[in-house]
């Protein structure tokens, strides 16, 4: 028996999130690594799921998703961005944004095709592209400088990537791991290049409700000329603090939904019916019950607390405009190997974090930063803060 794995997966290690969560568990560390809330999702959302199960909505959902969730997503988009969405042809439900990302790669990329990713890049993008046999084209997001208040990219470097004739660009805003929210000017630049070079945009907007201060989330799809060539991905995990539900969706023109469904029908066919119903109910109710404003203010408090803790122990933090992650510059304490630092922090100090280099194709090119997740109870953050005091010595 030839038990060798297929070439498309042979080079994959274990995901950094799995690795660091296992290490955190093993050492009893406070886990600020893998991004997930340690607090409960809202009662109105959990009750909707229990009610859907009790109502026997427990058989296969329609392949493109339940009407209730697709209608809710369409209505929300219409409300937020003023565009009428045909829920039947322009929304598709997937098993989290993760499945949608994989479907997109399988359904749109052929061997030999190229796809742009901004680096640091959420860890699934490059494997999805390579599993489709295509080649990732990384474009660097550079850390903030004296003249650049946040992570930024060089317009010439981006144009050079477009000149390599990619088929797709993956864009994540608010961005994991940096917390960057792309500005209108940056999105206009991307939009102009997509149209000039005939490129399709895949926008991962799973943190769209987690935006702080003056930052404003703007979907690329709403810019002139972009609807027809953009698929926008989202999910309930972060917005409703239920990352285990894995209910996601894609919004975009009918042709891109049709294409995505070509892969989706063979990857999962359909995803959990009662959780789709509950996700629909959650979106319907959140529109009118003040949930999003509450979420934002709670997250602002968590972010402010963790930033203060990190700064207080001598770890300078980078600005955060969105997401539930904050990065700290470990070189200030004399550390340069972020992977070794995060392992040491987990095993010796009892606080888990994620090395930024895990989000780079060439880890050696990464800046020396560690990513901390603040989707945690205030007491969890305080407990981490107590352990981190040892860094001061
Ligand atoms: N994209 C980004 C940027 C993420 O941080 C995550 C979080 N896991 C995902 C996609 C995956 O989302 P989901 O849990 O809905 O599959
Ligand atoms: N998105 C989460 C993070 O960035 C992790 C998701 C996962 O474990 N696959 O931490």
pLDDT in tens, 285-340: 999 999 999 999 999 999 999 999 999 999 999 999 999 999 999 999 999 999 99
Average pLDDT, the chain: 97
Which tokens is 58 given? 């427990």
Which residue's alpha carbon is nearest to atom 1 within ligand 2? 35
CA of 105 to the centre of ligand 2 (A): 19
Please report, for the chain, the start and end positions of each structural domain, with discontinuous segments joined by +.
Answer: 7-41+291-392, 43-286
Would you say domain 43-286 falls under CATH 3.40.640.10?
yes
Which residue's alpha carbon is nearest to atom 10 within ligand 2? 35
Q: What are phi and psi of 319, to 5 degrees?
A: -65, 145
Average pLDDT (166-185) is: 98
Which tokens is 390 given? 């040892």
- Ligand 2: atom nearest CA of 237 is 1
Average pLDDT (270-280) is: 98
Which residue's alpha carbon is nearest to atom 9 within ligand 2? 17
| Per-residue pLDDT at 262 exceeds 80 | yes
For residue 137, what are the CA distances in angstroms to 12, 152, 166, 168, 190?
Answer: 18, 17, 8, 10, 15
- Ligand 1: atom nearest CA of 176 is 3
- Which ligand neighbours the alpha carbon of 358 most closely? 2
- The H or E element spanning position 137 is strand 135-140
Please tell me the predicted confidence (pLDDT) of residue 305: 98
Please tell me the predicted confidence (pLDDT) of residue 334: 94
| Per-residue pLDDT at 26 exceeds 90 | yes
CA of 33 to the centre of ligand 2 (A): 9
CATH topology of domain 7-41+291-392: 3.90.1150
Please tell me the predicted confidence (pLDDT) of residue 182: 98
Average pLDDT (110-120) is: 98
**CB-CB neighbours of 213 under 10 Å:** 12
- Ligand 2: atom nearest CA of 206 is 1
CA of 88 to the centre of ligand 1 (A): 24
Please tell me the predicted confidence (pLDDT) of residue 3: 84
Is the C-beta atom of 268 inside 6 A of ligand 2? no
Q: Percentage of residues in the chain with pLDDT exceeding 70?
A: 100
Which residue's alpha carbon is nearest to atom 8 within ligand 2? 17
- The H or E element spanning position 351 is strand 351-352
- Burial (Cβ within 10 Å: 0-12, 13-18, ≥19) of residue 346: buried
Residue from 122, 123, 128, 355 whose mutation best tests the ligand 2 pocket (most atoms within 8 A of CB): 123
| Per-residue pLDDT at 1 exceeds 80 | no
CA of 54 to the centre of ligand 2 (A): 31
Please tell me the predicted confidence (pLDDT) of residue 379: 98
Please tell me the predicted confidence (pLDDT) of residue 108: 98
Is the C-beta atom of 176 inside 6 A of ligand 2? yes
């Amino acid at each position: 028996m030839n038990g060798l794995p297929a070439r498309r997966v042979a080079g994959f290690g274990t995901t950094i999130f799995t690795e660091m969560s296992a290490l955190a568990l093993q050492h009893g560390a406070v886990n600020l690594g893998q991004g997930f809330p340690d607090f409960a999702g809202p009662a109105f959302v959990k009750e909707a799921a229990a009610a859907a199960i009790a109502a026997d909505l427990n058989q296969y959902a329609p392949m493109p998703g339940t009407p209730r969730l697709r209608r809710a997503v369409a209505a929300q988009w219409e409300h937020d961005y003023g565009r009428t969405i045909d829920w039947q042809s322009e929304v598709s439900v997937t098993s989290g944004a993760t499945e949608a990302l994989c479907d997109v790669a399988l359904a749109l990329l052929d061997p030999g095709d190229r796809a742009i990713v901004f680096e640091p890049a959420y860890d699934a993008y490059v494997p999805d592209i390579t599993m489709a046999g295509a080649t990732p084209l990384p474009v660097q997001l550079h850390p903030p400088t004296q003249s650049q208040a946040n992570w930024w990219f060089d317009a010439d470097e981006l144009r050079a990537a477009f000149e390599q004739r990619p088929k797709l660009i993956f864009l994540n805003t608010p961005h994991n791991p940096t917390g960057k929210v792309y500005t209108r000017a940056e999105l206009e630049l991307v939009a102009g290049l997509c149209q000039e070079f005939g490129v399709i945009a895949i926008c991962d907007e799973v943190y769209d409700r987690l935006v702080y201060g003056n930052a404003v989330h703007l979907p690329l799809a709403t810019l002139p000329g972009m609807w027809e060539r953009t698929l926008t991905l989202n999910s309930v995990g972060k917005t409703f603090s239920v990352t285990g539900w894995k209910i996601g969706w894609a919004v975009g023109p009918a042709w891109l939904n049709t294409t995505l469904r070509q892969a989706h029908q063979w990857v999962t066919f359909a995803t959990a019916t009662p959780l789709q119903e509950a996700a629909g109910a959650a979106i319907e109710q959140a529109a009118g019950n003040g949930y999003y404003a509450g979420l934002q203010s709670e997250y602002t408090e968590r972010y402010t607390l963790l930033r203060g803790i990190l700064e207080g122990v001598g770890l300078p933090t980078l600005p955060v405009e969105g997401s539930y992650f904050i990065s700290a510059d470990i070189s200030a304490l004399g550390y340069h190997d972020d992977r070794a630092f995060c392992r040491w922090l987990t095993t010796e100090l009892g606080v888990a974090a994620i090395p930024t280099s895990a989000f780079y194709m060439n880890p050696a090119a990464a800046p020396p930063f560690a990513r901390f997740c603040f989707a945690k109870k205030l007491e969890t953050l305080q407990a981490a803060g107590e352990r981190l005091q040892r860094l001061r010595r």
